[in-house]
Each structure stands twice: as structure tokens, then as C-alpha cells.
Structure 1
Amino acid sequence: MITNADVVAAAERLAGLVRRTPVAVVEPGGLSGAGWLKCEYMQHTGTFKARGALNRVLAAQAAGELDPQVGVVGASGGNAGLAFAYAASRCGVPATVFVPQTSSPVKVARLRQLGATVVQQGAEYAVAHEAALKHAADRGAVYCHAYDQPEMVAGAGTIGLELLADLPEGFDTVLVAVGGGGLMAGIATALAGRARVVAVEPVNAPSLHAALAAGGPVDVPVSGAAVDSLGARRVGEIAYQVAVANGVASVLVTDDELIEARRLLWADRRIAVEHGAAAALAALTSGAYRPAPGERVVVLACGANTDPSDL
């Protein structure tokens, strides 16, 4: 588990180093009942992941754990890897990123542009994860987990603190896409007692949904349109604990619903997000989540590392 104090400490560490992404007001009746759109796709590297990765690397550096010659290592379907590479470059150290062979060519190309050494291994995140752990043990690199490390989760939680500051009139619910669950866990911790968080997952990658049903994290098969960003086979321990402690519910959306929500964001707002980032809106447009009358809903658009040619 992490605490609100961890999120506040992350915000202090990250001050001036990450973008305070805007909150766009949605006109009445627009985007299927959303009140606001948190535009986190405008963050460094194109996703929220930059917050947690930079928090992790800065914390390791402050603790004297970061060897400047060896740097950091992590595994990622793409977005977390971009964040690891970005954080390493900001701190002047090398980064090695293991990615599944299914990773988006767009993301792999951007990893290399950021200076990371990229190793493509295995068909799923879990295989790349094991390879990264071995690299960390063999080389002494600081290991960055894509979603199940306190610093990663706390960094993501700074989004929740921004929402509280930027929407002083209050809000009731935040819809958040879930893969491994670090984003959900951070925001739910930051908003505990202030607003609820609803997790939205692809029906073909229901890691949190399955964990809540089973009473703990379990492996699930993953596939589908959003597998490159929401393809974690097992939800994080931190995410599961936070979800249970804060009563976070999970709703599921289909690939067709993700695709339609992504298309709507482009047609209505000229926002090009990846399929996984459209999950939060898909909960509304599909009816998987139906707000109560008067409920004030924030939709988090969390990533834009996509090929816009199929919009």
C-alpha cells in the first residue's frame, strides 16, 4: 500500500519537472455525460507514466542507489519504457528497456529516439519483465517496474492532487483505464475520501476485474486492441490492495467499444489517443458505467502514443 503522504512527497519531488496537464470542460451532453476531460496525454512522453518513472529514478538517485554508469532497467509494452528512458535522460544515466515483440513500432522507435537500449523479447509483458529482472540482478541497474512499485504509483497519484486543485467546485467520480493498475492505485490514494475511482478494463485483459473476483491477483490471458498498453497479465499487488481498501469497482469494455470511443475523441475533440487511453471514455459511451443523475464525472485520457492513420 501507499499513502497520501507518498503522493504528496512525489508531487514535491516532481515540481517543475512534469507538466501540469489541463482539465478541459465538456459541454452539457457532450462525450456521453462526462463533465471534464483530464488531458494527461499531453504529458512528457505522451502518457502519465513519466510521473512515476521520474519519481522512481529521482528517489533512487537521492538514496544513493543509482549507479550513473549502469543506470536503470525496466520492462514495458512501450509507454512505461518511454517514461523510463525519459527519466533516465533527465537524470543523465543510461536506460535499458525490455519490450514484448508485440510492442507498437511507433513506441519502439520513440524509445530509441530517447536514447534507450531496446531489447525485444517474448510475446507478452511477463516475459520481458523476467528478462529485465535478470538484467538488474546481473548488472546492478535500478529496476523500474511498469506499475507495481511505490514510487511509480505515487508519481501517478499526483494527477489526483492536480484534479483536486484544479476543480475546487468538486467532482464525484474519475474513470481510469487499468492495465497493471498503478494509475488507478495512485489516483484512488490521492482522492481517498474525496471522490471515487472507477476502473475500466478491456474485456480481453481484465486483470483487476479477475483479481477482485478471485480475492487476489491472478494471471489472466490478454489480447485485443489495447494489449500494447493495457496488456498486463496480472494486476499489481499495490493496485489490488488500494482497490479493495477504497472500494474501487471495475467495469469492462469490448474492443469495438474502445475503438468507437477513440474515434469519438478524434471526431469531437481532435484528440488522438491510443486504444487503451480511450477505455475510460468507452465506459460512458458503451453504457458500461452509467452515472447517477447529477453525478460529476472526470474522464482521464492518459496516453497518446498511437498511429493516427487508422482514426
Structure 2
Amino acid sequence: MLTVADVEAACERTAAYVRRTPLFAADPIGGAQIWIKAEFLQKCGVFKTRGAFNRQLAAVARGEVDESVGVVAASGGNAGLANAFAAAALGVPATVFVPETVPQVKVERLRQYGAQVRQVGTEYAEAYEAAQEYVAATGALFCHAYDQPDIAAGAGVIGVEIIEDLPDVDTIVVAVGGGGLYAGVATVAAAHDVRVVAVEPARIPTLHSALSAGHPVDVTVSGVAADSLGARRIGAEAFEVATATPPRSVLVDDAAIVAARDVLWDDYRIAAEHGAATALAALTSGVYQPVPGERIAVIVCGANTDLRSLGE
């Protein structure tokens, strides 16, 4: 299972390549003190840059990367962006498989980073299958969107930064799709006795369904956050962490996600994507009700969104 030592190694390995993002005090909610971890300010505008660099740097050190074919990723958009960016920084080629439904803004940015973009199917699972075929044919290094120890450990550095900046934090609220961010942050949080609230769209309940069933299960993928939280099932890394230290698992509907995104834009001028607003939605909708004085860090994890949709 993922360990704090894995995350600490990722801290050292990636420090020169990623941005330490700020943690700032936000308006109180329900008598709780709220801080926003501004991971939307990460390079590429998304937390996945951390895991991408950790995965690729670790693989290079292990001699696993053939520089003639480079790396391949399957993504709803953000993991592809992160891996394309990391590959460009490290001087290796990248091929990214995305669904045909991915926002055009993400496709354009992938190409700006020099990636070969291949659009397949209508959801992440289909892009993943195509990427696996590509790996088998070429020997490219596969960089999973969320379910590899190196990927989750890189994301876990966010938890380290939160606890360093706010040592008496009680709770960390994190959005869950495939679970890489959750797995990394929850691993760190458990070592410091910090509660984790795992928030998912009600229309893509990967972790919630797995915890109910006792094992990962496929779910239907739909809703406003499907482009970034649209995994069909929770990753093995995340499920193992959740089984060892169960989080508070909550679901939010699409209306709550849209409303939380509006709050981030209207009150803080944060241009968050719907998936990144999902964590805050647990608080603004009242699905998670904090106790007075609870010190809560909310991870706002990405800003790769169509700006024209803000304020609608």
C-alpha cells in the first residue's frame, strides 16, 4: 500500500519541477474555519502535474523510458495535459488518448505542449483501452491518470504542504474521481490523524459505490464533472487506502457543483472547473456539516475550464 515514505520521496524528486501552491483563508462556513488549497495555480493548472512529474522522473531513474517513443497517457484531459507538460520538460515525446467529448480547450493545450492527441470514444475507459493497445504496440511508458503508486505519491505532496502550512488542520476535503489525489492526500492525513472528506458527484460515485460493495465496481459516468472526475471505477490504490482508513464519503449533485463553482468565481475570482469545485460543494450544499471551529482545508485542484461558461 502507498506509504508516507513514498510521498516524502515524491516531495524530494519533484521539488524542482512543480509549484508549491498557497493555502489561503476563505470565508467561514457553518461556523468552521475554511482554507483553500490553491492547487489550481499549479503548473498546467491542475494537481496532476505533480503525479506526472513523479511518475516520469522515477521511471527515468529506473531506466524504464525509451526516449524514441516516450510516454503515453489516457485522460479526460487533465492527466494528459500534465503528462504532456512533464514529458516536454524532460525532453521525451508524449502521446495522449482522450475521449471525443473532452473540452476543446484541453485538446488545444495538449497540442501546445507538443503531444500527439488521439480522440477515442465518449468516456475515459475507452481512451484507456486504446492507450493500452498503443503501449503493447510501441513499448511507451504508460502514465496512468490516477492508479499508479508514483502518480498517487506525487499528488500526496499536496497533503504534506497543507499540514506544513496549517499544522492544526482538522479536516481535508478532496474531490474523488479515479482516486489518485484522494489516495495520496489520505495517506498523509492518516499519519497525522487528520480527517478526510471524500467528495464525489452523485452521478459518478466510484469510491462511494466501492465502499458499499466492499470492492471496486463499475459505475455509469455522466454529469457536469465527467470531463475530470469521469473514471468508471475507483483505482486500486485509492480503494486500498480507503479500506485501511475509511474517509467520510459524501455525494453532491450537479446543481451543488455548479453552485460551488459560482461561489469560487463570484467570491474569489477562481476560475475552477466543475471537478475542482466538487470538494467545496460538500460544504456549500450542507452535505458535509462541520462542527463550529473545525479547521478545514479544501483542495481546489484544477482550472482548465472554458472561461466563457463562468457566470452562466
Q: TM-score, normalised by structure 1?
A: 0.97
Question: What do the CA deviations read for 1:97-149 (whole angstroms, capped 9, x no partner)?
Answer: 00011111111110011000000001111111011011111101000000000
Counterparts of 1:91 and 1:31 in 2: how far apart (Å)?
45
Counterparts of 1:201 and 1:301 in 2: how far apart (Å)?
14
Aligned to 1:189: 187
Q: Is the 8 A contact 2:204 2:220 kept in 1?
A: yes
Aligned CA RMSD, in angstroms, stands at 1.1
Displacement after TM superposition at 1:32 (Å): 7.8
Instruction: List alignment gaps of at least 5 residues for structure 2.
Output: none
Displacement after TM superposition at 1:87 (Å): 1.0
Q: Is the 8 A contact 2:147 2:178 kept in 1?
A: yes
Q: 1:182 to 1:32 in 2, by over 3 A?
A: farther
Q: Is the 8 A contact 1:33 1:284 kept in 2?
A: no
Aligned to 2:12: 12
Aligned to 2:81: 82
Secondary structure of the residue that 1:67 maps to in structure 2?
A: coil
Aligned to 1:23: 23
Partner letter of residue 73 of structure 1? V
Matches within 5 A, 1:81-100: 81-100=80-99
Matches within 5 A, 1:135-174: 135-168=134-167, 170-174=168-172
Aligned to 1:116: 115
Question: What do the CA deviations read for 1:177-224 (whole angstroms, capped 9, x no partner)?
Answer: 000010000001112132111110001110001000000100000101
Counterparts of 1:249 and 1:210 in 2: how far apart (Å)?
13
Q: Is the 8 A contact 1:25 1:35 kept in 2?
A: yes
Displacement after TM superposition at 1:31 (Å): 8.9
Partner letter of residue 99 of structure 1? V
Q: Is the 8 A contact 1:226 1:275 kept in 2?
A: yes
Secondary structure of the residue that 1:192 maps to in structure 2?
A: helix
Displacement after TM superposition at 1:249 (Å): 2.2
Partner letter of residue 210 of structure 1? S
Aligned to 2:246: 247
Q: Once the two structures are aligned, what percentage of the paired residues are identical?
A: 61
Counterparts of 2:278 and 2:30 in 1: how far apart (Å)?
13
Secondary structure of the residue that 1:289 maps to in structure 2?
A: coil
Counterparts of 1:235 and 1:104 in 2: how far apart (Å)?
23
Partner letter of residue 48 of structure 1? F
Q: Is the 8 A contact 1:31 1:281 kept in 2?
A: no
Partner letter of residue 270 of structure 1? R
Q: Is the 8 A contact 2:279 2:299 kept in 1?
A: yes
Paired positions, count: 309
Partner letter of residue 203 of structure 1? A
Aligned to 2:58: 59
Q: TM-score, normalised by structure 2?
A: 0.97
Q: Is the 8 A contact 2:32 2:293 kept in 1?
A: no
Question: What do the CA deviations read for 1:135-182 (whole angstroms, capped 9, x no partner)?
Answer: 1111010000000000000000000111111113x1110110000010
